[in-house]
């Protein structure tokens, strides 16, 4: 197993463990209080990812301040919404709805970024939507606010990703790390005050563990993307569905029915096909670039030609 893929497996597994801890709080603490403490503790390992050559004090020197602050807001919204979903609806259902994010990202790429999407991609996204409907089954069962929260989380998460694609080339990485974290801490701190309940010692330890898992997952995912191609790392995210089913059954006595398992399988299959399509296109583009470089008299040593990792 490539080391980058191994890092990705551990990263998404650690994320799932952190999410399972968050789910365990139920309604004992407010969503904003949970979000505040998780964000605080997640910053501890995140402090080690400051890019070389950049300074934290430069975080507010922005090229696109409006978009950077909008991205930070959408990040806060998606974080709060998924937390509410975790504590109110089954684990696997939350993940299934959150995995609607690729559909929203594609829609935004067409409407906002004016990108073109082929028929096969739309077909796979439609198949993923069908899978989610099999899991949730609106009209055949009573939906809760948590289901809508998970779906809204997917929308705001897609907006966060879309904005990042626009601003990442021009903004400092410390800005993209520090400002979203600052937003999450400050906004959750303000909103938790009216209903603040002092956590017990056990709850405090669990919040520390959950936040540390989230921060560690972030570091490991960065390591994964540095050591493996995106087309190798992206499919690993679907291991979270497996963890959701396992952790939900072990700790929360949640057992999806047969139709839900079918829907989850459809969601995973459609997502994997989308990732494989991207990976194949990247490899073709890389090989074509190498061919053109050779024809243009560029270095003949293949190791000197920049191309995607395969």
pLDDT in tens, 106-134: 889 888 888 888 888 888 888 989 988 88
In a domain, 236, yes or no: yes
Q: Return the pLDDT at 109.
A: 87
Quote the tokens at residue 30.
Answer: 């407010």
CB 50 within 8 A of CB 139: no
Burial (CB count <10 Å: 0-12, 13-18, 19+), residue 96: buried
Q: What is the tally of structural domains in the chain?
A: 1
Backbone angles phi, psi at 138, to 5 degrees: -60, 140
- Other beta carbons within 10 angstroms of residue 155's beta carbon come to 20
**Confidence category of residue 280, pLDDT binned at 50, 70, 90:** low
In a domain, 94, yes or no: yes
* Percent of the chain clearing pLDDT 70 (strictly above): 85
What percent of the residues of the chain are helix, what percent strand, and what percent coil, each to the nearest 5? Answer: 80, 0, 20
In a domain, 310, yes or no: no
Q: Return the pLDDT at 223.
A: 83
In a domain, 309, yes or no: no
pLDDT at 291 over 60: no
CA–CA gap between residue 125 and residue 70 (Å, rounded): 26
Structural domain including 49 reads: 3-304
CB 135 within 8 A of CB 257: no
Mutual orientation of helices 31-46 and 201-227 as an angle, nearest 10°? 50
Name the average pLDDT for the chain: 84
Backbone angles phi, psi at 170, to 5 degrees: -105, -20
Task: For residues 293-301, give the mean pLDDT.
Answer: 52
In a domain, 55, yes or no: yes
For the whole model, what pTM was predicted? 0.82
**Radius of gyration of the chain from Cα atoms?**
20
CA–CA gap between residue 47 and residue 52 (Å, rounded): 12
In a domain, 52, yes or no: yes
pLDDT at 309 over 50: no
In a domain, 166, yes or no: yes
Q: Return the pLDDT at 231.
A: 63
């Amino acid at each position: 197993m490539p080391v980058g893929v191994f890092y990705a497996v551990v990263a998404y597994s650690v994320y799932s463990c952190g999410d399972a801890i968050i789910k365990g709080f139920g309604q004992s603490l407010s969503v904003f209080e949970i979000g505040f403490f998780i964000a605080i503790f997640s910053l501890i390992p995140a402090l080690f990812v400051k890019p070389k050559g950049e300074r934290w004090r430069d975080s507010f020197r922005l090229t696109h301040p409006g978009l950077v602050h909008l991205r930070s807001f959408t990040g806060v919204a998606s974080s709060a919404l998924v937390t509410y979903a975790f504590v109110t609806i089954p684990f696997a259902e939350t993940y299934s709805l959150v995995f609607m994010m690729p559909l929203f990202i594609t829609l935004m790429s067409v409407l906002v970024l004016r990108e073109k999407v082929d028929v096969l991609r739309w077909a796979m996204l439609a198949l993923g939507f069908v899978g989610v409907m099999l899991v949730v089954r609106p009209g055949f069962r009573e939906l809760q606010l948590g289901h809508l929260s998970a779906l809204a989380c997917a929308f705001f998460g897609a907006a966060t990703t879309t904005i990042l694609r626009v601003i990442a080339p021009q903004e400092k990485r410390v800005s993209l790390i520090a400002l979203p974290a600052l937003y999450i801490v400050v906004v959750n701190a303000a909103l938790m005050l009216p209903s603040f309940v002092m956590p017990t010692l056990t709850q405090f330890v669990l919040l520390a563990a959950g936040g540390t898992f989230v921060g560690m997952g972030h570091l490991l995912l960065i390591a994964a993307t540095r050591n493996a191609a995106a087309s190798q790392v992206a499919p690993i995210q679907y291991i979270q569905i497996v963890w959701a089913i396992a952790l939900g059954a072990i700790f929360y006595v949640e057992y999806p029915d047969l139709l839900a398992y079918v829907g989850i399988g459809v969601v995973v299959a459609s997502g994997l096909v989308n990732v494989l399509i991207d990976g194949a296109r990247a490899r073709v583009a890389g090989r074509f670039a190498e061919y053109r470089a050779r024809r243009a008299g560029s270095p003949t040593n293949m190791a000197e030609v920049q191309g995607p990792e395969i």
